[in-house]
Amino acid sequence: MRRYIIYILLSVVFACAKAQISRLGENVQYSFTAQGTAGGGDNAPFWFTNNRYGLGTTENFSGLARVALWRTVETDSIWFWRMGYGVDLASPINGENGYFCIQQAYADIEWKMLRLSLGQKERPSELKNPYLSTGGLTLGMNARPLPQVRFELPDFWAIPGTRGIFSFKGHVAYGWYTDGAWQRKFNAGTSNIYTSGSMFHSKALLIRLGNRELFPLEVAGGLEMACQFGGTGWNILPYVGTTLLQDVALGGNFLTAFVPGGGDVNDENFTNAAGNHIGSWHLRMDWKEEKWNIGIYMEHLFEDHSQMFMQYGFWKDMLLGVEANLPKNPFLSTIVYEYNHTMDQSGTIYHDATAEIPVQVSARDDYYNNHIYGAWQMGGFVMGNPLILSPVYNPYFNKRGSLTIQHNRLAVHHIGLAGNPSDEWAWRTLYTHQVSYGSYNMPLLNPQSSNYLLLEATYSPRWCRGLSFSSSYGHNIGDLIGNSYGAMLSVRFDGWLNRTQW
């Protein structure tokens, strides 16, 4: 099935590229990056590891070399048909996913406002600041991108006749996971569950009300959903004799991923929707003046159908945030504050209706955990918010090979600050205070807390356009992932090939 889909889509790409081929070599950008990290303690500083699209590591000493080449679709902005592409190669030292990876490889084809995106591409979280936020709850910036076929309205499109007041954006995507070999290696010597060859689906619809030219208030919100389905499961069913590994074909298909249905192989008498379903409700309000703006936003996570609506009363779990962009000054440009509460999870009780007790209670959601797929993760990193600690930390928790999330009942305060003192200098600071109660399946007798700090400065000299140097200091203090400290140095150069637009 994948082969036929790829053949069809490549045919579309070549047909569209035929008219654009003369422009594909124009306005191509490139970058080279070298990065090194050194420190001490139990794990690398939290913000050195997380929200780096899966290229971070928990190791105290690490390095990264990266080369990228890309052309944005905005280059063809005067045309109805537009094309962009990108290739991004990374070579980590002490990374979680080997010594070489194709981080991004994609082609974007646009017709007017519609885009077909093919391949794997880094995508920021919806309606959040990618530089200062902790990231989205359903799909964040923490894991490596998945190869996928994605139809989308990438930007808000104003419906004609509404004076720009009513607009929307959205997407539908199907793809596949590439971490089967990593899961097998991570699980080596244990009997923990893991999967290979599974598929991915996501969709979103966001609506925006408001037109800044008419009134400064804008309101945007909507629904985002994702699913992992299919593939092969290992150690899912009870052992037979001395067999250590059992491969089981997992349920789900393209239709049951889009409209949840079917069932999993070990549901027995209590059928659930096939696959690992997750989603979020988003809401954001912005007051936008000419030189400043302030926004407040909310994201509410739900697993399967639990808490998708107010089935168990008003939502208690959500990420709440405030973002302020200040008038231009040499000190502080942007402030972000977030509070993330995930301790309720619909309540403490889960019960499937039986003849004795004919009441269905779909609570105890156990965020990011799944009895088939282990966790909502890719290559060891959760695909949502990294403060629900990723499986890469499980060896530190003495849970070697386990993909199970150990800490998902959290209360988190987070502050992000950024500034641009001059054209040459920029800085940002992240500080996060996290309290964990473990999970309902593995509760902590006493809550554990940690504090994560990042200080970062970037220098982009005028005398060499495209060159930049970044230095960062990170620090962890607390019980969850131990105490540690470290420094990171990065050098990057960005340039152009055959630039025709200035």
- The yes-or-no verdict on residue 345 having pLDDT over 90 is no
- The yes-or-no verdict on residue 268 having pLDDT over 60 is no
Distance CA 283, CA 398 (A): 38
* Whole-structure pTM value: 0.90
- pLDDT, average across residues 244-253: 71
Distance CA 372, CA 275 (A): 8
Q: What is the dihedral of CA 342, 411, 130, 91, to 10 degrees?
A: -90
At residue 20, the pLDDT reads: 60
**pLDDT digits 0-9 by tens, 86-116:** 999 999 998 887 789 999 999 999 988 899 9
- pLDDT, average across residues 326-352: 87
Which amino acid, residue 320? Answer: L
Phi, psi (degrees; rounded to nearest 5) at 169: -145, 165
At residue 239, the pLDDT reads: 45
Work out whether the CA dihedral 248, 249, 251, 254 comes out positive or negative: positive
At residue 31, the pLDDT reads: 97
Take residue 386 and report the two structure tokens written for it.
Answer: 């990294």
- Report percent pLDDT > 70 for the chain: 86
Take residue 218 and report the two structure tokens written for it.
Answer: 């804008």
Take residue 84 and report the two structure tokens written for it.
Answer: 């962009």
Distance CA 9, CA 5 (A): 6
**pLDDT digits 0-9 by tens, 399-453:** 988 999 999 999 999 999 999 999 999 999 999 999 999 999 889 989 999 999 9
For residue 348, what are the contacts with CB-CB under 8 A and spacing of at least 6? 363, 364, 440
Contact present, 437 and 343 (Cβ < 8 Å): yes
For residue 403, what are the contacts with CB-CB under 8 A and spacing of at least 6? 183, 186, 187, 192, 193, 194, 373, 374, 375, 377, 391, 394
**CB-facing half-sphere around the CA of 172: CA atoms within 13 A:** 6
Q: Max CA-CA distance within the chain?
A: 78
| Average pLDDT for the chain | 88
Take residue 276 and report the two structure tokens written for it.
Answer: 């690992």
For residue 160, what are the contacts with CB-CB under 8 A and spacing of at least 6? none
Distance CA 200, CA 171 (A): 14
Distance CA 255, CA 95 (A): 36
At residue 501, the pLDDT reads: 62
- pLDDT, average across residues 213-222: 95
- The yes-or-no verdict on residue 291 having pLDDT over 50 is yes
CA angle 40, 131, 472 (to 5 degrees): 30
At residue 257, the pLDDT reads: 82
Take residue 89 and report the two structure tokens written for it.
Answer: 């190669």
**pLDDT digits 0-9 by tens, 372-388:** 899 999 999 999 999 99
At residue 26, the pLDDT reads: 80
Where does the pLDDT of residue 245 fall: very low under 50, low under 70, confident under 90, or very high at 90 and above? low
Distance CA 424, CA 426 (A): 7
At residue 350, the pLDDT reads: 64
**pLDDT digits 0-9 by tens, 44-92:** 999 999 999 999 999 999 999 999 999 988 887 667 788 999 999 999 9
At residue 9, the pLDDT reads: 60
| Nearest by Cα to 212 from 320, 299, 285, 283 | 285
Plot region of 491 (φ>0 → left; ψ -120 to 50 → alpha; else → beta): beta
Where does the pLDDT of residue 354 fall: very low under 50, low under 70, confident under 90, or very high at 90 and above? low
At residue 240, the pLDDT reads: 42
Distance CA 138, CA 117 (A): 20
Distance CA 69, CA 298 (A): 35
Residue 397: other Cβ atoms inside 10 A:
16
